[in-house]
Structure 1
Amino acid sequence: MKAMTVMKNVVIVDDDHFVLRATSFQVKSIGCHNVQTFDNAHDALQLLAQPGHGIDAVILDLNMPDITGVDMIRYLADQQFPGHIILFSGEDLYTLEAVEKLAQARGLAVAARISKPVNSQQLKQVLMNVRPPVEVKADEPAATRNISRQRLQQAIQKGELEPWVQPKIHLKSQEAFGVEILARWSAPDLGNVFPDEFIPLLERHDLIDEMTLSLTQQVITFFQRYRHQLDNVHIAINLSMKSLQKSSFFIALENVLKQHNESYSRFTFEVTESCLNRDMAEVLDILSSLRLKRISLSIDDFGTGYSNLTQLKDLPFDELKLDKSFVSSVWDNSKSQIILNNSISLAKQLNMTVVAEGIETRQEMELVSDMGVDYVQGYYFARPMPMARLPVWLEEWSELRHQLFGRLSYQLPGIPEGEAGRLEVLRSLNILDTEREEVFDRITRIAKKAFDVPVVLISLVDAGRQWFKSRVGLDARQTSRDISFCGHAIMTHEIFLVEDTRADSRFCSNPLVTGEPGIRFYAGYPLSVRGVNVGTLCCIDFKPRAFAEQDKQLIGDLAALVVREMELRLQVLSGHTKH
């Protein structure tokens, strides 16, 4: 496994001296030894204004007394700061999101936004996963990256650039309606070259049309070879804005289709939303010309750019494709859910079909289905695959879809009202993915002895998982939220009790019952912090058993001890943030 790169030169800007010391210590502990701290923004800006300052990342507090975080971002953008920005603040999530969007709109690289108090694990992950900035001039030739124009053209002509496919599923019929074509390049001399590397190079060297036509030719040839299996499979192809602007590209595309006796009706051409961030008259000119040719158009990655929803009524698209990040953010951000609902509603009113990308869980599938989405694609159904694998996958789909769409034999946990606020409280505890603490382990040991059970957990229910802060009798650190008992327990304000899981229709077929660890008894008491249930103190047994009233009272008392420790933790963290 390739070692992660640690940022070498980091600047921290915060007017709170305690936060400066604590954050500096956290950054240095993961190998960033050259850390400079500033308690005022003016001094930091003087350093960053020096030529060749070599700073890889700036960790920036938005609430500086001398210069606001927004002003700081403006100055950094004016100086064309090449490194990464990490925003952290005690402001609400929406404010952080707004400032992040502002920084990105000004061309700055935002590595993360972190709510105060700073989570050391989250900060560590951010700093170890961002790459140090590499200065690349806009007109830098591809040869400096060891991929010349000649090598790119050779890759196209030799068929090294291959079409992979990802199925698109119709939610109502549960049929595999079509596939999206994805370019992949495995080069004998370069290894795997990723699309975000080779696509810009192809566009720079005016080879993107040649690649798109080559992929289309390969796809049509393959689909006709397997006509009996693929005859009804629709094909979606991504188009570059550079291709869209050339009439010669569509003349060449029509020739390819005619050679194989194919028509445009089988294809949808996807245009990314970022392509629309240009003169509206020019965009309308291009898209209207394509619609007159009866070419089906899709706006791809919707939700990642800055298009106004009302612009959709002026643009001749047949399909709206929602970006993965737009869907996944619904769980953490209530505003995202409102925008997502309105986007789908508007698309429907405009007679557009709606596709949701990046669906990875059953809950996400059910969410977008309830919202009225027509088609879905994502890892929940199938990962991108070599085109040769598609006929086999289609044969497997008839069985696979029953597993993915079939009625679950166990009940999924619900989503509490105000989930975004609940998750915000949970994360403000700065406790997820931390090491064991005796103060919590002592409580689980007492509970294990008092109730005579093999397993006791302090479980914290995150967006898609339950993570165990303390555990006795269980090796696992976490499980999926979809199969968790604690996900059900946080929906109540009293003990959640299942005395025999195999006699309970909600859980008799749950994987944690039918497989490892083989749960037969569960008692979970919700941990209510700041008025929301962040998790549970729970007892598990591998045989059915009863839970007496005195047991219910005792587990409630022990849960109160856990909550007290968490509330104290919040008070300490809040005090450090203020002083």
Structure 2
Amino acid sequence: MTTIPLRVMVLESCAIHRSCTANRLREAGNVEVVESAHGCQALDVLTHTGGVDIVLCDLQMEGMDVLAFLKQAAQRRLLHSLIIQGSHSPELLRSIRQLVSLLGLRLLGYISKPFSTHQLQGLMHMYHHSHALARDAQIIVPLANETDVRAALAAGQFHAYYQPKFNLKTFEICGVEVLARWQHPQQELLTPAVFMPTLERCELLDDLLLMQMQQALALQHQMRTTGVTLSLAFNLHASQLASSALSLQVKALLTHYQAPPSSVTFELTESGMLDVCANSLECLLRLRMMGCNLSIDDFGAGFSSLQRLCDLPFNEIKLDAQFAYAVTQDLRSRVVISTIQRLGTSLGMAVVIEGIETLEQCQLLQSLGCVIGQGYVFSRAMSESQLIRWLDETVSTDG
């Protein structure tokens, strides 16, 4: 089967550099190259010949500056992704990345002059990967209605799935995050995007949480009889904290399954903790007093406040995935990660890095002092049977 070639524009004012870059791209294989000397010319070419998959350009450009070009090209939907060439300060590149994202484009990475065909091939691979993710995201699944969700809860169609957390040094499993999936009888396995908004709107989040806890704690008890310790982390929405019954229900389940409270963590997104009422704080305190752990999730993604770490009884920080994504490219992200890791250690709080996708990220995070990680580089979310089989294979391999 013949693969459709990528269409790449080289936007470069220097004719020699432009020609050299175009040749490198052709050497990378299966690439159709379009060349332009400045932004106005590039817009004209793209308007008349069609858009491109990737634009490769320097930030310094004669005539129309690259920011104006990107804005107009994005508005006209003439490009999909961007590669920046040349040497620029980390803080400038970080802001460019944010602007590119706000324009609805994808920044594949940076490339210095001179560069090799191998470097370009790596960025082409990044495009194929990001394009596949974007294509999958465009598959729109209708939001479930209240009647179907209530019926699914009653029929036991929601199942706990498990994504492992790992020790970055030993690659041993530290526990699992418990996620929800809907095994619809007429459709494929449905993700939370389909049903979570409906559950929240209909105040059914507690029903889902208790279902997840029953399944996961039963699995934990089963694993414990075979000598395997399995820590569990459940996602908790801030709105659930207003319920005075929640902590009592959690305690009853822990007692029923003889689960050590210290083996259970509740993860709360920090953006949901902006306004903490007395009832919410009481619920958090009760969970901590019974021995459960509390993790502040997606830390750094919203309105982070160090005061929140002091005022609320969290004992774990879960750093947002954007930091793991940028760790290999952005010095500031590395400094933030290292600082948060030291802060967590000083406060007696565990620090979890989520969103790790490559071994390079994993190795760099380890060098920054990070201990616990989570992400696709280790494993995607698994069903109960898949997790049991995976744990059995891991124990057999270790033995």
Tell me whether the two structures share a fold, i.e. TM-score over 0.5: yes
2:12 to 1, 10, 14: 14
1:499 aligns to what?
none
Match among 103, 106, 112 for residue 108 of structure 2: 112
Is 1:82–1:135's contact at 8 Å kept on the other side of the alignment? no
Aligned to 2:122: 122
Name the amino acid aligned to 1:64.
Answer: M
Choose which of 294, 298, 305 in structure 1 pairs with 2:287. 294
Aligned equivalents of 1:30, 1:285: Cα separation in 2: 62
1:268 Cα offset (Å): 1.3
Q: Who is 2:383 aligned against?
A: 386
Tell me the equivalent position of 1:345.
342
Offset, 1:115: 0.9
Which residue of 236, 239, 248 maps to 1:245?
Answer: 239
Q: Which amino acid aligns with 1:282?
A: D
Partner Cα separation in structure 2 for residue 332 and residue 106 of structure 1: 19
In structure 1, which of residues 315, 319, 338 is the aligned counterpart of residue 316 of structure 2? 319
Work out which of the residue numbers 94, 97, 119 in structure 2 matches 1:98. Answer: 94
Note if contact 2:53-2:80 (Cα within 8 Å) is conserved in structure 1: yes
User: What CA distance in whole angstroms lies between the structure 2 residues aligned with 1:43 and 1:307?
Assistant: 41
1: CA distance between counterparts of 2:360 and 2:77? 41
Cα–Cα, structure 1 residues 134 and 361, in superposed 2: closer, same or farther, change >3 Å?
closer
* CA spacing shift, 1:309–1:73, aligned 2, 3 Å: farther
Paired with 1:307 and 1:268, the residues of 2 have a C-alpha distance of 22
- For 1:75 and 1:314, how far apart are their aligned partners in 2? 45
CA distance change for structure 1 residues 184 and 13 in 2, over 3 Å: closer, same or farther? farther
**Kept after mapping to 2: 8 A contact 1:111/1:126:** no
Match of 1:145 among 141, 155, 167: 141
Question: After superposition, what is the alpha-carbon deviation per residue over 1:528-561, rounded to whole angstroms, capped at 9, x for unaligned?
Answer: xxxxxxxxxxxxxxxxxxxxxxxxxxxxxxxxxx
TM superposition shift of 1:319 = 0.6
What SS does structure 1 have at the residue aligned with 2:98?
helix
Structure 1's 161 and 350: CA in aligned 2 closer, same or farther, altered over 3 A? Answer: same
Indicate if the aligned counterparts of 2:38 and 2:61 stay in contact, CA closer than 8 A.
Answer: yes
Cα distance in 2 for partners of 1:61, 1:215 equals 50
Q: Answer whether contact 1:13 1:37 (CA < 8 A) is retained.
A: yes
- The aligned counterpart of 1:88 is 84
Matches within 5 A, 1:125-524: 125-131=125-131, 145=141, 148-149=144-145, 158-168=155-165, 177-184=174-181, 189-191=186-188, 198-206=191-199, 209=205, 211-224=208-221, 228-229=225-226, 233-239=230-236, 243-247=237-241, 251=245, 254-255=248-249, 258=252, 261=255, 266-272=263-269, 276=271, 281-282=274-275, 288=281, 290-295=283-288, 296-302=293-299, 305=301, 310=306, 313-314=309-310, 316=312, 317-322=314-319, 326=323, 335-357=332-354, 358=356, 364=362, 368=366, 373=370, 375-376=372-373, 384-388=381-385, 390=387, 400=397
Higher Cα Rg: structure 1 or 2? 1
Per-residue displacement from partner, 1:499-529 (whole Å, max 9, x unpaired)? xxxxxxxxxxxxxxxxxxxxxxxxxxxxxxx
- The 2-side partners of 1:98 and 1:104 are apart by 10
- Partner residue in 2 for 1:449: none
Q: Which amino acid aligns with 2:37?
A: D
Amino acid at match of 2:177: E
Contact 1:181 1:238 in 2 (8 A): yes
Gaps of 5+ in 2: none
Q: Cα offset for 1:112?
A: 0.4
Change (3 A) 1:269 1:101: farther
Relative distance call for 1:325 and 1:247 in structure 2 (3 A) is closer
Native 8 Å contact 1:73 1:103 kept in 2: no
Please report the TM-score for the alignment, with normalisation by the length of structure 2.
0.67
Instruction: Determine the C-alpha separation between the residues in 1 that align with 2:214 and 2:239.
Output: 21
> Is 1:61 aligned to residue 61 of structure 2?
no
Residue 62 of structure 1: how far off its partner (Å): 1.5
Instruction: Provide the C-alpha distance between the structure 1 equivalents of 2:307 and 2:320, rounded to a whole number of angstroms.
Output: 17
CA distance in 2, matches of 1:147, 1:384: 22
Structure 1 residue 199: deviation in Å? Answer: 2.6
CA change 1:156–1:360 in 2 (3 A) is farther
Partners of 1:325 and 1:284 in 2: CA distance: 29
Question: May I ask how many residue pairs the two structures share in their alignment?
Answer: 378
Q: Deviation per CA, 1:434-474, whole angstroms, max 9, x where unpaired? A: xxxxxxxxxxxxxxxxxxxxxxxxxxxxxxxxxxxxxxxxx
Once superposed, what is the RMSD of the aligned Cα atoms? 5.1
1:244 maps to a residue whose letter is A
Using CA pairs under 8 Å that are at least 6 residues apart, name the structure with larger relative contact order, 1 or 2.
2
Q: CA deviation at 1:27?
A: 7.3
DSSP 3-state at the match of 2:131: coil
Structure 1 residue 71 displacement after superposition? 4.8
Is the 2:12–2:38 contact (alpha carbons within 8 Å) kept by the matching residues of 1? yes
